[in-house]
Chain A
Amino acid sequence: MKTILNNLKIFLFFIFLTGIIYPFFITGISQGLFQNEANGSIISKNGKIIGSSLLAQEFKGKQYFCPRPSMSNYDSSASSASNLSPDSLALSENIAKRALENNLDIKSNDDLLYSSGSGLDPHISPLSAENQIDRIAKARGLSEVKILELKKLVLNYTEHRQFEVLGRTRINVLKLNLELDKKF
């Protein structure tokens, strides 16, 4: 009985400390110092919330850069992945289908051939962006000069390795598309 009582006391103490004090303390600091990040890096346009810079959203229009395929159909409240093995027939069928849709070579190594881990990957690789430029230029009827400007824009929106070392070079699709609408 005494064993139970003693352990119950220390158990409740730590539940209170790690379950209530700790998360509220961190929330307080976060909301004070990094309010935008803590609330989901929300992007607004004309006073309306249009998404988060960290979450992919669907772009079907030919005039936009499109993000990587999503197994959850870009449902940001139900992240999921294909979990298909590299030697599964289903995956090679998916890849073939995506290659056809995006006019890509199956062996081109373009990110658009492969669904992301979260289904919400906000980035594409520079190669992927480059492969889409012709389509976008055609859809928007851009002149040669404008196409050069578009290429420069893509370069400007390319994020490099963090501290020159960590991670991979990438481009945020939503941010790039917003700028695209503004300039072209």
Chain B
Amino acid sequence: MSALDFFEILLCFGTIIILTPILGKYMALVFEGKISFFNSLENVVYRLLGLDTQKEMNWIDYTKNLLVFNLMGFIFVLAILIFQGHLPFNPQHIAGLSIPLAFNVAVSFVTNTNWQSYGGENTMSYFSQMMALGTQNFLSAATGVTVLLALVRGLSRKSIEERESKTLGNFWKDLTRTILFILIPLSILLSIVLVKEGTIQNFSAYIHATTIEGKDQLIPGGPAASQIAIKQLGTNGGGFFNVNSAHPFENPTPLTNWLSLISILLIPAALTYTYGLMIGSKKQGWAIFAAMMITLIIGTIIIIRADLAVNMMEGKETRFGIINSSMWTSWTTAASNGSVNAMISSQAPIAGGIAMLNIMLGEIIFGGVGCGLYGMILFVILTVFLSGLMVGRTPEYLGKKIESREIKMIILAILAPSACILLGSALAISTTAGLSSLSHHGPHGLSEILYAFTSAAGNNGSALAGLNANTNFYNFLLGITMIIGRFAILIPVMAIAGSMVSKKATPASFGTLSTDNPIFVVLLIGVIVIVGALTFLPALSLGPIVEQILMNKGILF
């Protein structure tokens, strides 16, 4: 690795650290309604739609509205995909999707997973890309933020009136502010730079070219840049083209690659600072940021070292090289963004293993927009609880008691996706329907299956893409896994927010475990790694770990 390579890596991490407090502060102002120009703008929308956003909702109402809203998204996407052949903006006359595939894609985009069972340029019309996939990129990301905001209010509200009203904010208001003032402005900025560098943005039919040697070439078109911007910022990751961000029309230059990387972690990282501001202690936010950052750096180092040792450009693009490809794999799997700029299947086995582990830990190393942080807060509460058990004190977080109901919900949220990964993989390797999609023998084959269920349960969306996932078996099973991976965490989080909001806060005393110092950061990372390792070490040993060991011995499959 040269000094320039090192500087390039540093530039990525450094930019995130610098932008975190800036965007974090802005988002706190937006969420708390402190920018008066924005308030008058959003009020126009509420009046236009005739929505009462003054009234706050309790956890059940908030969740009910959120689920109804997401269900509408699911039905809408499903309908567009099935009937796309009869809809406009389809210059290539691409036919509608089969029902199993449409089901898979609809679930995947509503749950912020963006798993690609489809091929992009030859499966989706421009209309479907824009109206079905593009819109869900915004809506699913914003949904994640609304849940986070409800949880933050549940933890931070302390006055008697607030505790008695048991409300957590207004779902429509949180949603509107997130989309209008955060996601749309950032997406506009990013799309324009993308186009300047060469990402396409048009509605033309594919162009016929005759190459220098006289062969026909069909050059694809479409409104790609607008979609790619939100795909990165909303930690979605579903590509406009089949090979996603490896495609020169999605990610044409090193600059677009760097900007995309930054966009992927930007909002999840900045939300930790927003969190600190909203609960009234910036240190709490930085402690969570530190735990995430340390874990990310360790994972990134392992992946880069493993890939440099293998030193093969298979599945990678010349303009990015090996290190940028490794960085991308590390950051996207940490951040629940399913995009790829190189094929993970062709990276070092242990690089794929760390990618899987990043997702298996619960997509909380920054994680998805909103959902990464609420997942991390569950682990913070779990750490407080375990530490409380060790010293024999009632555990408290931010002055509020942690009791059996919260812990039960947390265990449910941690166990449900883990069970999906292990049981789903077990089912796939014991049936012909599951095994017939494999493209590799030996341990890499197990990794393909394990990765698919991991990616679906963690709502990540990337793949060890040798696996042919467009079969009824995988479309259906992975679809169910994505639903559980999203809502079996989201609903328990809302329930915790609902129970925490009515609890009395006691001021910190001498015996209170402080949750904003380095010792706690170490404890938190310890709990995350132990829970993840205990659950998944056996599976990972049989897949990427054994593959790496055999490869180092020169054994091929």
Rounded to whole angstroms, the CA-CA distance of A85 and B444 in the bound complex is: 7
Establish whether residues B121 and A77, one from each chain, have CB atoms under 8 Å apart when the complex forms.
yes
Chain B, residue nearest A59 (CB):
B213
Among B214-222, B426-434, B506-514, the stretch that binds chain A is B214-222
- Cβ contact within 8 Å between A13 and B253: no
**A178–B309 alpha-carbon span in the complex (Å):** 37
Query: Within 8 Å of chain B (Cβ to Cβ): is A42?
Result: yes
Q: A38, A45, A89, A174 — which one has the most chain B CB atoms within 10 A of its CB?
A: A38
Residue of A nearest to B183 (CB): A18
**Closest chain B CB from A38 CB (angstroms):** 4
Contact in complex: B65, A3 (CB < 8 Å): yes
Kindly specify which of B202-210, B287-295, B380-388 makes contact with the partner chain. Answer: B202-210
Q: Is the CB of A37 within 8 A of B547?
A: no
Bound CA span A48–B207, Å: 12
A26 to B244, CA, bound (A): 20
> Which of B95-103, B340-348, B360-368, B479-487 lines the interface with chain A?
B340-348
Q: Which residues of B contact A85 (CB under 8 A)?
A: 345-346, 349, 440, 444, 466, 547, 557
Residues of chain B within 8 A (CB-CB) of A177 are 212
Give every chain A residue within 8 A of B547 (Cβ-Cβ): 85, 87
- Chain A CB within 8 A of B68 CB: yes
Count of residues in A whose CB is under 8 Å from the partner chain: 92
A80 and B313 CA atoms in complex are apart in Å by: 15
Pairwise interchain contact B346-A84, C-beta atoms closer than 8 A: yes
| Residues of chain A from 98 to 117 with CB closer than 8 A to chain B in the complex | 109, 111, 113-117
Roughly how many angstroms separate A85 CA and B315 CA in the complex, as a whole number?
A: 9
Report A25-84 residues with CB < 8 Å from chain B CB: 25-27, 29-31, 33-34, 37-42, 45, 48-52, 54-55, 57-61, 64, 68, 74-84
- The reply on B353 being an interface residue by CB < 8 A is no
Q: Name the residue on A nearest B554 (C-beta).
A: A87
A10 close to chain B: CB less than 8 A? yes
Q: Is B412 an interface residue (CB 8 A)?
A: no
Contact residues on B (Cβ < 8 Å of other chain), bracket: 35 or more
Give B517-557 as 1s and 0s: 1 = Cβ < 8 Å from A's Cβ atoms: 00000000000000000000000000000010011000111
Complex contact B252–A170 (CB within 8 A): no
User: Given B131, B230, B343, which contacts A83 in the complex, CB threshold below 8 Å?
Assistant: B343
Determine the residue in chain B with the shortest Cβ distance to A78. B122
Query: Contact between B217 and A76 (Cβ–Cβ < 8 Å)?
Result: yes
Residue-wise, chain B 219-245 has the 8 Å CB interface mask toward A (1 for contact) of 111010111011000000000011100
**B200 contacts partner chain A, Cβ-Cβ < 8 Å:** yes
Candidates B197, B252, B440; contact of A88 at CB < 8 Å: B440
B202 touches A39 (CB 8 A): yes
Determine the residue in chain A with the shortest Cβ distance to B179: A14
* Total A-B contacts with CB atoms under 8 angstroms apart: 326
Q: How far is the CA of A51 from the CA of B207 in the complex (A)?
A: 9
Residue of B nearest to A87 (CB): B551
Q: From residue B1, how far is it (CB to closest CB) to chain A in Å?
A: 13
**Residues in A neighbouring B415, C-beta threshold 8 A:** none
Asked whether, in the complex, the Cβ of B557 is within 8 Å of the Cβ of A88, the reply is yes
Set of chain B residues within 8 Å of A148, measured between Cβ atoms: none
Chain B residue nearest to A167 (CB atoms) is B254
Query: Does A143 make an interface contact (CB < 8 A)?
Result: no
A52 touches B219 (CB 8 A): yes
Is B241 in contact with A79, judged by CB distance below 8 angstroms?
A: yes
Roughly how many angstroms separate A83 CA and B77 CA in the complex, as a whole number?
29
Is A120 on the interface with B (CB-CB < 8 A)? yes
Binary B-proximity of A5-22 (CB < 8 A = 1, otherwise 0): 011111101110111101
* A20 vs B229: C-alpha distance when bound (angstroms): 15
> A125 and B209: CB pair below 8 A?
no
Which B residue's beta carbon lies closest to that of A163?
A: B255
Cα separation A111 to B315 with both chains bound (whole Å):
11
Give, as a whole number of angstroms, the nearest-CB distance from B394 to chain A. 38
Cβ–Cβ < 8 Å partners of A41 in chain B: 198, 252
Docked-complex contact B258 and A50, CB < 8 angstroms? no
Give the chain A neighbours of B179 by CB distance below 8 A. 14, 17-18
Q: Which residues of A contact B310 (CB under 8 A)?
A: 86
Question: Per-residue CB proximity of B286-327 to A under 8 Å, as 1/0?
Answer: 000000000000000000000000111111111111001100
Once the chains bind, are A13 and B49 in contact (CB under 8 Å)? yes
Asked whether A42 and B195 contact (CB < 8 A) given A20-B131, A50-B211, A81-B315, the answer is: no
What is the CB-to-nearest-CB distance from A168 to chain B, in angstroms, rounded to a whole number?
4
Which residues, 338 to 378 on B, are CB-close (under 8 Å) to A?
340-343, 345-349
A47 and B229 alpha carbons, distance in the complex (Å): 33
In this assembly, does A91 line the interface, its C-beta being within 8 Å of a C-beta of chain B? yes
Tell me if A120 and B247 are in contact (CB < 8 A): yes
**A85-B547, A166-B258 known; A38+B211 contact, CB < 8 A:** no
Chain B residues numbered 457-515 whose CB sits less than 8 Å from any CB in chain A: 464-466
Known: A88-B557, A161-B4. A52 touches B209 (CB 8 A): yes
Q: Is the C-beta of A165 less than 8 angstroms from some C-beta in chain B?
A: yes
By a CB distance below 8 angstroms, the chain B residues around A50 are: 209-212
Q: Report whether A78 and B121 are in contact in the complex, using a CB–CB cutoff of 8 Å.
A: yes
Q: Measured between C-beta atoms, what is the minimum distance from A181 to chain B in Å? A: 7
A14 in contact with B139 (CB, 8 Å): yes
B50 in contact (CB, < 8 A): yes
Known contacts A18-B139, A27-B223: A4-B175 contact under CB 8 Å: no
Q: Which of B201, B343, B556 contacts A27 (CB 8 A)?
A: B201
The 7 closest A-B pairs by CB, nearest first: A167-B254, A117-B246, A166-B254, A168-B321, A87-B551, A123-B318, A26-B226
A: residues with CB less than 8 A from B are: 3-4, 6-11, 13-15, 17-20, 22-23, 25-27, 29-31, 33-34, 37-42, 45, 48-52, 54-55, 57-61, 64, 68, 74-89, 91-92, 109, 111, 113-125, 161-168, 170, 174, 177-178, 181
B interface residues with partner A (beta carbon < 8 Å): 4, 7-8, 11, 45, 48-51, 64-65, 68-69, 72-73, 76, 119-122, 130-131, 134-135, 137-139, 172, 175-176, 179, 184, 187-188, 191-192, 195-204, 206-213, 215, 217-221, 223, 225-227, 229-230, 241-243, 246-249, 252-255, 257-258, 310-321, 324-325, 340-343, 345-349, 439-440, 444, 464-466, 547, 550-551, 555-557
